[in-house]
Amino acid sequence: MNDRSSLPRRGRRSGRGTDCWSSPYRRSRGGFTYEPCCAVVAGGSCASSARRPTEEVRAPAFLIVGTPRSGTTLVQRLACELPGVRTPPETHFFGYYALDLVRRRRFPISGDVLRDELDAFANMPKSKELGLDIVAWHGMLAGRAERPADMFATLVEVLVGQADTVGEKSPEHLLWWRPIARAFPALRFIAVVRDPRGVVSSSRAVWGDAGGTVAVRAERWNADQREVSRALRSLGSERVLVIRYEDVVSDESAASAAIAAYLGVPARTAAVAGRSPAAGIVLPREWWKGRTFEPVTTERVEAWRRDLSVEDADTVGAICRHGMRRFGYSSTDTRRPVAPAGLPTRAQRWRFRAARRRHLARINRVIL
């Protein structure tokens, strides 16, 4: 499946005509770019084989994104409790699969290549519990994927089934907002933001030291919130809704109504009784989401004061102070002067920034 020798070489003719390339996707540095074939440039279409028009693939209506442990799952639950709105569990399609996909394949793909890629996604550790029906996914694509975006759109639809309004939530898809927005011009984003001290406290409770030092976690929050701000500036409030976790838990009904108005669907008229229609959004392995369906309270808003040391809380506040002000959080609650960061801490932050810049550069070159 990963053997690049099976891919058509640049310049190989495909039988579409003497001047037609084998694929409209051309390799560029770090990704692929789109170059239409000669027939398309001339105003016609390739005569290679019948294909499913891109317009027939229903794009998701919205994506919920944000820094992990910001309350994205709670917002996903509120969205799925609205009439006719459904999302699958997190797919991680872009964050854990798409970059490798576009490195090894030139689109469109079909036949054994498409089946291999569907199997590859379904067998990822993060995908195994999705219960993905490969046959249905292949059928919804009509045996041919014109572009990676169509694979994602049909994946979501296969997982959700029948629904009036379909969305998806994977926090790390925040980093993909540019290529996703280009691929789906009508898609909207719901970006969830939380006090970085709460994010750091919660992530340490769930993942321990695996998420890096306090300074690196704070730097990650900074980088993520810059992407939220950039998306809002670029796409406008018509396509980006920013919701703060603290506002959601302080007034769940108002948050639900705001999401409904943004998506253009009826508001939730009464509390959901019995099994929530959002129950399927959490996978068995996601033990850290165990509180998702409990009554919404403000209990965790100030939990960082208990869980973080004074030094750690002040470090986060100092690193994130500009982003905190931008999103309405006070960073002046330092309980003592913050000591200058030592060289190891500064080096960790520099390495994270450099890695994030490289990662974003690779992502933003991708044509979905």
Helix (H, G, I), strand (E, B) or coil at 33: strand
Letter string b/e over residues 309-336, b meaning 16 or more CB atoms within 10 A of that residue's CB: eeebbbbbbbbbbebbeebebebeeeee
Residues 6+ apart with CB under 8 A from 147: 54, 107, 108, 183, 367, 368
Average pLDDT taken over every residue of the chain:
82
Give the H/E segment covering residue 72.
helix 72-80
The DSSP call for residue 13 is B
Angstrom CA distances, 351 to 172, 196, 220, 347, 354, stand at 19, 20, 11, 6, 5
Q: Give domain limits for the chain.
A: 1-48, 52-364
What single-letter amino acid sits at 235? Answer: L
pTM over 0.85: no
User: Which band of pLDDT confidence, cut at 50, 70 and 90, is reported for residue 85?
Assistant: very high
Helix (H, G, I), strand (E, B) or coil at 65: strand
| Cβ atoms of 151 and 338 closer than 8 Å | no
Residue 4 pLDDT > 60: no
pLDDT at residue 161 in the model: 87
pLDDT at residue 5 in the model: 38
* Domain 52-364 superfamily per CATH: P-loop containing nucleotide triphosphate hydrolases (3.40.50.300)
Distance separating alpha carbons of residues 142 and 159, to the nearest angstrom: 17
44-58, 207-221, 275-289, 318-332: which has the minimum mean pLDDT?
A: 44-58
Place of tokens 């011009």: 185
Residues 6+ apart with CB under 8 A from 153: 57, 58, 59, 60, 184
pLDDT mean over 68-88: 94
Residue 317 pLDDT > 90: yes
9-23, 26-40, 63-77, 240-254: which has the minimum mean pLDDT?
A: 9-23
Of 359 and 42, the structure prediction assigns the larger pLDDT to 359
Helix (H, G, I), strand (E, B) or coil at 61: coil
Residue 268 pLDDT > 90: no
User: Which band of pLDDT confidence, cut at 50, 70 and 90, is reported for residue 30?
Assistant: very low
**pLDDT tens column, 163-213:** 999 999 999 999 999 999 999 999 999 999 999 999 999 988 888 877 788
pLDDT mean over 249-274: 85
pLDDT mean over 292-303: 84
Residue 46 pLDDT > 80: no
Residue 340 pLDDT > 60: no
pLDDT at residue 207 in the model: 81
pLDDT at residue 23 in the model: 36
User: Which band of pLDDT confidence, cut at 50, 70 and 90, is reported for residue 134?
Assistant: very high
Is cis: bond before 108, omega within 30 of 0?
A: yes
